Chain A
């Protein structure tokens, strides 16, 4: 029988639909009987959605500015090079 701890181990696989049909069924059966695990799955799912909504890893403006400058320079070099060839 699937215990709460076992369910916690495969909770993300359940949320992402990565379980086999049989595993999926035993999770569903467990969830019908266990309020704590229903709350856990609901909260883990909410945490996952929170991550999706959180646009993370935003680099600092300074880095973006530096990249913009370097790209602009590379573009200029490239354009002048292809201009020379013509």
Chain B
């Protein structure tokens, strides 16, 4: 994901001027995050529809964008609001269990006194970048990410991959700060367990 910083202002200016190329660039930069937000609320194909509709809305609405938040946060809010309206009309609720902060598979690895029964076996020596060069691991990560419950996946993607601040993620996804912590922690444990298995067995 390209870091915009200073150049975000240029992009916004071009978007306001209805520049085709700027829209093309914005669509490829921001669609992944918008889709992550939508997938938190909706099934995959409805999520795609909503994101598509939002972009058409953005063509008209960008003129009113005042820059009080970053462009990314603004876009993500548009998607979240659209999804919430859709849920309201369809009466679908987002169900999430926030009661357990340990993954069952990890919780089983402690004994009754709270000490490790099955401690972590290997240290992940390589840096994240080196690990990512391993195509098989990257594919495995994709597979596990798509298997995560949508709530955990969206929280993880917005917080880690799209580097949103936690208050923005809470705002966009409509979860409390403590529930966001649970979502993130559960998702990270799953990734941890996946990498551990992968390093030990070479299998996903």
Tell whether, in the assembled complex, residue A48 and residue B188 are in contact, meaning their CB atoms are under 8 Å apart: yes
The smallest beta-carbon distance between A20 and chain B, in angstroms, is 14
Closest to A65 in B: B27
Most chain-B Cβ atoms within 10 A of its Cβ — which of A12, A52, A55, A57? A57
Bound Cα distance A44, B128 (Å): 12
The reply on A9 being an interface residue by CB < 8 A is yes
Residues in chain B near residue A54, CB distance under 8 A: 132, 138, 141-142, 145, 161
Residues in chain A near residue B188, CB distance under 8 A: 12, 44, 47-48, 51
Looking at B17-25, B68-76, B80-88, the stretch in contact with chain A turns out to be B17-25
The smallest beta-carbon distance between A85 and chain B, in angstroms, is 14
Tell whether, in the assembled complex, residue A67 and residue B120 are in contact, meaning their CB atoms are under 8 Å apart: no
Residues in chain A near residue B79, CB distance under 8 A: none
Bound Cα distance A61, B89 (Å): 30
Interface residue count on the A side (C-beta < 8 Å):
44
Tell whether, in the assembled complex, residue B185 and residue A63 are in contact, meaning their CB atoms are under 8 Å apart: no
Q: A13-B181, A47-B191, A50-B128 are in contact. Are A4 and B115 (CB under 8 A)?
A: yes
Known: A6-B114, A39-B123, A55-B32. 16 other contacts (CB 8 A): A4-B115, A5-B114, A12-B184, A40-B120, A46-B195, A55-B1, A56-B32, A57-B36, A63-B51, A67-B31, A67-B51, A68-B23, A68-B24, A71-B56, A71-B58, A75-B23
